[in-house]
């Protein structure tokens, strides 16, 4: 069977805009992100109201960025960068400074914008990890739909074998997406993952998505278990896993950076999914991640429904962040 052409799942925005319906959809989603990050935007925007370009402006911006979870390092970096831009452009009013800040944030976040490519391997095996309740299973459900929309066949692996409820939750998503699922009552997560990858190969699936149980980086035996899942997946397919994704809850603030570091050290992450950006998340933590542990952000989640998953776009995110 000929291998399907690699599907670029995160086509850059201009390509989407050519299609009016897609552009409208994207705008709806952008509005959701903007609404979610509005509090952050309001905080940063307030700094520019009736402001002069002086030290006080930079000091207030510093506070606003820290409050938005950008962290000390990214905040310092952004302010230095901004001062340089203001000088070079000879900006004279606060509105100009705000636009230059949007540019600075866009440039900082740009390296995180990278498409998830499938089709190079059949199946592309994607392992999904994260702390408890981050949104792994929900994101897998949404990602399945996203992939199905691209014409990819998906097999789900219920490697969260701790709770029967977890298996059932994934089953519901499988039903909603009408895809197959490999699951085992009381099974071992590595064994389920092995079976799923083997089945994925045998059945010629385009993608195998492995859902794992939530765990904290401090639970060392559970982090070891993740390593084992990864090892065993490689036994089923020497080139797999092709992607190791960490799902992070956008509300976790600076702790998200600690999670990226810890899971990256354990597993070697290839990408992130940042969820719950529709709620009270402040979003600035992506600046900290970009500065300190730049793992690409493949997708962001802006709700609990199937369609509430979107590709990450640095410019859009920067604009949403500034309100």
Ligand X SMILES: Nc1nc2c(ncn2[C@@H]2O[C@H](COP(=O)(O)OP(=O)(O)OP(=O)(O)O)[C@@H](O)[C@H]2O)c(=O)[nH]1
Strand pairing report for 309-311 and 297-301 = antiparallel
Q: What torsion do the CA atoms of 133, 139, 142, 146 make, to the nearest 10 degrees?
A: 180
Instruction: Please state the closest distance from residue 108 (CB atom) to ligand X, in A.
Output: 23
Instruction: State which residue has the least CB distance to ligand X.
Output: 214
Binding partner of 26, given Mg ion, ligand X, none, CB within 5-8 angstroms per partner class:
none
Residues 292, 254 contacting (CB under 8 angstroms): no
Does 275 participate in binding Mg ion (rule CB under 5 A)?
no
Instruction: Supply the minimum distance, in Å, between the C-beta of residue 27 and ligand X.
Output: 18
Comparing CB distances to Mg ion, the nearer of 137 and 313 is 137
Q: Count Cα atoms within 13 angstroms, Cβ side, for 45.
A: 12
Locate tokens 């059945």: which residue?
A: 203
Taking a C-beta distance cutoff of 8 angstroms, is the pair 284, 154 a contact? no
Encoded tokens for 223: 């982090």
Judged by CB, which is closer to ligand X: 225, or 278?
278
Residue placing its CB nearer to Mg ion in the complex, 27 or 163: 163
Q: Which stretch binds Mg ion (CB under 5 A): 72-80, 135-143, 173-181, 220-228?
A: 135-143
Strand, helix or coil for residue 8:
strand
Q: State the binding partner of 303 from Mg ion, ligand X, none, CB within 5 to 8 A by kind.
A: ligand X
Residue 136 binds Mg ion (CB under 5 A): yes
Task: Give contact residues for ligand X (rule: CB under 6 A).
Answer: 130, 132-138, 160, 166, 213-214, 247, 275-276, 278-279, 301-304, 308
């Amino acid at each position: 069977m000929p291998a399907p052409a690699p599907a670029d799942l995160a086509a850059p925005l201009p390509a989407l805009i050519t299609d009016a319906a897609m552009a409208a959809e994207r705008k709806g989603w952008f509005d959701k992100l903007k609404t979610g990050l509005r509090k952050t935007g309001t905080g940063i925007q307030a700094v520019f109201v009736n402001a002069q370009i002086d030290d006080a402006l930079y000091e207030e911006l510093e506070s606003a960025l820290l409050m938005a979870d950008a962290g000390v390092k990214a905040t310092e970096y952004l302010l230095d960068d901004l001062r340089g831009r203001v000088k070079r452009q000879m900006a004279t009013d606060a509105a100009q400074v705000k636009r230059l800040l949007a540019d600075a944030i866009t440039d900082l976040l740009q390296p995180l914008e990278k498409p998830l490519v499938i089709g190079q391997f059949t199946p592309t095996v994607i392992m999904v990890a994260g702390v408890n309740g981050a949104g792994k299973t929900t994101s897998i459900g949404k990602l399945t739909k996203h992939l199905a929309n691209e014409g990819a066949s998906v097999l789900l692996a219920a490697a969260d074998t701790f709770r029967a409820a977890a298996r059932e939750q994934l089953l519901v998503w499988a039903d909603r997406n009408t895809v197959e699922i490999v699951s085992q009552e009381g099974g071992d997560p590595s064994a389920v993952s092995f079976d799923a990858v083997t089945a994925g190969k045998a059945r010629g699936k385009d993608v195998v998505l492995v859902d794992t149980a939530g765990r904290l980086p401090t639970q060392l035996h559970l982090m070891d278990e993740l390593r084992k899942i990864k090892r065993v997946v490689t036994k089923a397919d020497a080139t797999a896993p092709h992607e190791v994704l960490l799902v992070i809850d956008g509300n976790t603030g600076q702790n998200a950076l600690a999670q990226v570091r810890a899971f990256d050290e354990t597993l070697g992450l290839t990408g992130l999914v940042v969820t719950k950006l529709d709620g009270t998340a402040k979003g600035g933590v992506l600046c900290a991640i970009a500065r300190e542990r730049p793992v690409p952000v493949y997708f962001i989640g802006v709700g609990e429904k199937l369609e509430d998953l979107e590709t990450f776009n640095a410019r859009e995110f920067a604009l949403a962040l500034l309100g």
